[in-house]
Amino acid sequence: MEKFTKLILKLKWLIILSVFALTSLFSYQLKNLTINSDIISSLPDDDLVAKLYKNIGSEFGGNDMGMIVLETDNIFTKKVLEDVKQVTDSLKITEGISTVTSITDVLDIKTTEFGLEIGKLVDEYELPTRQSELDSLKKYVFSKEMYKGSIVSEDATATLVLFTLLDDADKQAVAKEVKEKIEALGLSEKLYFGGLPMMMNDITSLIVADMVWLIPIVFILIALILLLSFRSVRGVILPLLTAAISVVWTLGIMALADYEITIISNMIPIILLAIGSAYTIHVINSINLNVEKDRKKALIKALSFIIVPVILASVTTAIGFISFVFGAYLAMIQDFGIFTSLGTLIALVLSIFFVPSLISAFSMYNKNTEKTNTNKKDIISNIILQPLAKLLFKHPKYIFSVWGILIMISISAMFFIQTSVNMNAYFKKDNPTRVAEDIMQKKFGGSMPIYIVFEGDMQSPEVLKLMKKTGDFMETDHNINTTQSVADLIEEMNNAMGESKKIPDDKAKIEQLWFLLDGQDIMPQLVSDELDKGIIQSKFASATTSDIENFDEKMKKFIAENSNENCKIQLTGMPSVYVKLNSSLLSSQFSSLIIAIFMVLVIVGLILRSPLKGIFAAVPVVATIIVLFGFMGATAIPLDIATVLVGSIALGIGIDYSIHIIVGFNYKLKENGDVHKAIESTIMTSGKAIIINVLSVAAGFLVLLFSQLVPLQNFGLLVAISMISSGLGSLTLLPVVLILANRKKKITAKQTFN
Amino acid sequence: MRNLKLSVLLVLFLFAGFNTNAQDADTILKKVDEVMYSPKDMTGETKIVLTNKSGKQSTREANIIQKGTDKRIFRFTSPSSQAGIAVLSLPDDVMYLYMPAFRKERRISSSVKSQKFAGTDFSYDDMEAKPNAEKYSPKLLGTEENAFILELKPKSKKSSYSKVIMKVHKINYYPISVEFYDKGNKKIKEGKSVYKKIGKYWNAQEMTMTNLKKNHSTKMIMSNVKYDQNLSDDEFTVRKLKQ
């Protein structure tokens, strides 16, 4: 180890120059980094439901549908209709918008006394103005299932303007322009913007806001904690510099590899700032504690001592992150796992190569070369660590019991953990997107699209009748407001031809009715060009997991009974994806935790050359994970796409504290052979680094409480709690376990460290 | 040398200016209408080729008979599922549709003229044989080598276009191309036509309309065109539609 550290110091200028060069290269790449807030694009391609949803959404334009709600006390007035027309016209001439549907511009099939009229619900150039006209329009709209609850709310206080985007449009740019344009009209009605493109636009601005506001706060906060802890410029600059460089490298590599910032990888800079500084903290702490006349020798000694625990700490943290690659359902969580673990390793490399090089090159040695310095104990050592060490030896069993009770309580609270996949809950209550979604849910049966896909001859009476039957069946569910398919249009047309309102039995009739529908804007949203695929479009009103699961089950049964060789039926849509996402949250939580625990045990056991030590090291973190889930159960913080990450991260970071204690214990035990003294001196030395580390990491993550996205707020809180718990665990539970284990079975220096 | 060039340019410019003065916009548009609508009647066959954005084509065929500018029957002959469907257009926007599978005719009204005609890129508005001078107020924007460039503003507020730019052949006065602009002044459709003289009339042998937004186009190819056969008004009745 000494040879290795000497080599580092020999190559210091080369190391400094390469770090400088790489940092400039990667910071230049940062400008290419883009934000992708499209959650749909993160759905896995190997999952049938998700794949079908993605395909159907893009094939029939449903994923690119935006909605604007105009709300007032009564929409059937001259003024409101004029305003709707204004919105409609303004959208029509917006670049990137394909079709617009609103009460002033919607396909209508009317049966009149002399024939049939295929036209629009109202003449957009001669809007009804007199009260009698408005009344009859209202009566007509509410008489037709096509409109009631889908274009006009059932209480007639809100109306919907729907628009679809062109395939090649920059969806977020269009959404942004739409919002600005419509708001600039200065209409008196209350406006709400919904649908995925609008939601994505909103998420993007929230991500940007988070990054712009939170990163500097984390930076300043960690700087303050470091200043208070180390009371030296070096102690502040070096950890922050390495953390910042690892953020730049990681984001630079992301940009180079063509990855985008998502709602989850948004957290990468904050996480790396918080944990990336940790390794340098330990390196500096070790250097501070090794005070000798020959400053270079002191540096080498300090480094030789700290390299192994720092490598162990970062590798285990990286494992915590990499465990997401195996269990996660969403691609963005896998990407997050890859790049945070990469960033962790970068921080490691910097802290053991770059930091000592800088110290040596710029003579940033400890100013005090006198041994006396160590005797002047600081606040942390005096007030916390010394009394703690005393307490541990006095009452090891009490401390053990307190942990035992805490764990029992947590285990019982764990059973109350909920899952949440509803995207709406990701926004704060007063966020305009959330408010819009709430309105959509209340007035228009939600905005969660459902598609029933029919593969078969779309002009065959059998298939159309089956579509109708399916639609009717769906509408018996109280969370389904209306359904729409080409079968509804054919029925209307058949009625208008003077036959009854049903699907004709004769295929020739259907083909001829089709002639009139051909080329209508709505057709590409309902049937494929080749007429071999069609969909029922609907929306699901409830975001409650049990409602969604009930509906999903019911539909699956119906489909199994009705699907046949001439017509294959499939169900997809946001609710189905949510069901999948939900079950995947639990299974991926389970698998990533198991992988992480297993790998950590193996690696710690191997490096410490003792499986028992590996298990000891895992005790505080396993306790922490139990406390974490107990806390989630007790406070009703749900498992969601962000909080599902906490368990493995807590494990990966938390194990570091145990490692520092165990390695310190071994080292000290080797020095003087006395368990009691070894534990005490370990707590007094590593304890300080652990407390500083817990404080800076927890503070860094607590900044996420100011995030605009609810899952990130919860994530920050939970990681902070886990850090405190595992720090506390490694300073209390682990020494107690070591003391108690030692009473039963003498741990000797020979057994533990070569 | 430079002077020579300048003077040539000047002469050309004067010539062009002289030309525009001599031919004001109204006169040009009237002449266009004369070329397009002077036959008393016409019969012919048309082949309609639709091309979608992925380049896939589908074809329909129909027979057309027309008298004057406001009586017309469009009778589809192919594909077989649509064969026999016929549309009769009469003055004052009266339209009847016949569907053989139902053995019934129905009066259809399309309150909105911007709707597409039978899945093509032509709207009912575009298909209307109403003289241009009645629909639009023209303005001469300039001239090209062989064409006048007219800007047509719709007279009716109900038009979905804000303006139409029409290029008119300088000698023969048939429209070479038309560009349609939406209310946001963005070009949304583009029509091109190839005219050929049949007897004494110019015939739009090939018309292509492209929807620029949807990247979808329609080509109508005329054949077997015959003019002035003295068709009687009786040909354009509901009774005839059903045959």
Whether B115 and chain A come into contact, CB under 8 Å, resolves to yes
The whole-angstrom distance between A84's CA and the closest CA on chain B is 16
- Contact assignment for A512 to B101 by CB distance below 8 Å: yes
Give the domain ranges of chain A. Answer: 1-32+232-368, 64-200, 382-415+608-754, 447-577
How many helices, marked H, and strands, marked E, lie in chain A? Answer: 29, 10
Q: How far apart are CA B95 and CA A410, in angstroms?
A: 76
Q: Cβ of A123 under 8 Å from any chain B Cβ?
A: yes
Which pLDDT score is estimated for A326?
A: 77
How many domains would you assign to chain B?
Answer: 1
- The per-residue pLDDT for A749 is 40
Enumerate the residues of chain B whose CB falls inside 8 A of the CB of residue A496.
Answer: 106
Cα three-residue angle A376-A380-A382, rounded to 5 degrees: 55
Residues A1-29: pLDDT tens digits? 677 888 888 888 999 999 999 999 999 99
Residue B9 counted as domain residue: no
pLDDT digits (tens, 9 = 90+) for A470-521: 999 999 998 888 899 999 999 988 988 888 889 999 999 999 999 888 878 7
Q: Is A91 exposed, middle or buried, given 0-12, 13-18 or 19+ CB atoms closer than 10 A?
A: buried
Lowest-pLDDT choice from A9-18, A87-96, A387-396: A387-396
Give the CATH fold of the A64-200 domain: Alpha-Beta Plaits (3.30.70)
**Higher pLDDT residue, A681 or B113?**
A681
Q: What is the pLDDT of residues A323-332, one digit of tens each?
A: 888 777 788 8
Contacts of B76 in chain A (CB under 8 A): 515
Percent of chain B with pLDDT over 70: 88
Query: Hey, do A1-32+232-368 and A64-200 end up sharing a CATH topology, with the first three levels equal?
Result: no
Shortest distance between the Cα of A61 and any Cα of chain B, in A, equals 13
- Per CB-CB distance under 8 Å, the chain A contacts of B52 are 529
**Average per-residue pLDDT for chain B:** 85
Residue range(s) defining the domain that contains residue B138:
24-241
Name the β-bridge partners of B154: B136
Q: What is the CATH number of the domain that holds B154?
A: 2.50.20.10
Lowest model confidence (mean pLDDT) among A317-326, A420-429, A545-554, B148-157:
A420-429
A114 touches chain B (CB under 8 A): yes
- Give me the residue label for tokens 């058949």: A494
CA distance A464 to B227: 45
Q: Spell out which residues of chain A touch residue B157, defining contact as CB-CB under 8 Å.
A: 125
Identify all chain B residues contacting A506, using CB atoms and an 8 Å cutoff.
101
Phi-psi domain of A156 (left: phi exceeds 0; alpha: psi -120 through 50; beta: other) = left
pLDDT recorded at residue A17: 93
Contact between B108 and A93 using a beta-carbon 8 Å cutoff: no
Average pLDDT score over residue span A42-60: 81
Tell if the pTM clears 0.80, that is, is over it: no
Residue type for position A296: K
- Say yes or no to pLDDT of A349 above 80: yes
Q: How many Cβ contacts (< 8 angstroms) between chains A and B?
A: 92
CB contact under 8 A, A117 and B108: yes
Statement: residue A364 has pLDDT above 80: no
Q: Which of A89, A515, A529 sits opposite B56 (nearest CB)?
A: A529
Whether the complex's predicted ipTM surpasses the cut of 0.95: no
Interface of A with B in 514-573 (CB under 8 A): 515-516, 518-520, 529
Report the chain B residue with the minimal C-alpha distance to residue A111.
Answer: B108
- pLDDT for residue A317: 87
CATH, range A382-415+608-754: 1.20.1640.10
- Residue B14 scores a pLDDT above 60: no
Helices vs. strands in chain B: H and E counts, helices first: 5, 13
Q: What is the model's pLDDT at position B10?
A: 53
Tens digits of per-residue pLDDT, A138-189?
999 998 888 888 899 989 999 999 998 887 788 888 999 999 999 999 999 9
For A697-719, what is each residue's pLDDT tens digit?
A: 888 889 999 998 888 899 999 99
Mean model confidence pLDDT for chain A: 86
CA B3, B4, B8, B14 torsion-angle sign: positive
Measured between alpha carbons, how far is B20 from B6 in angstroms, rounded to an integer?
21
How many whole angstroms separate alpha carbon A605 and alpha carbon A609? 6
CA nearest to B182, candidates B156, B154, B163, B165: B163
As a whole number of angstroms, the distance between CA A512 and CA B79 comes to 11
**Per-residue confidence at A559, pLDDT binned at 50, 70, 90?**
very high
Classify domain A1-32+232-368 by CATH number: 1.20.1640.10
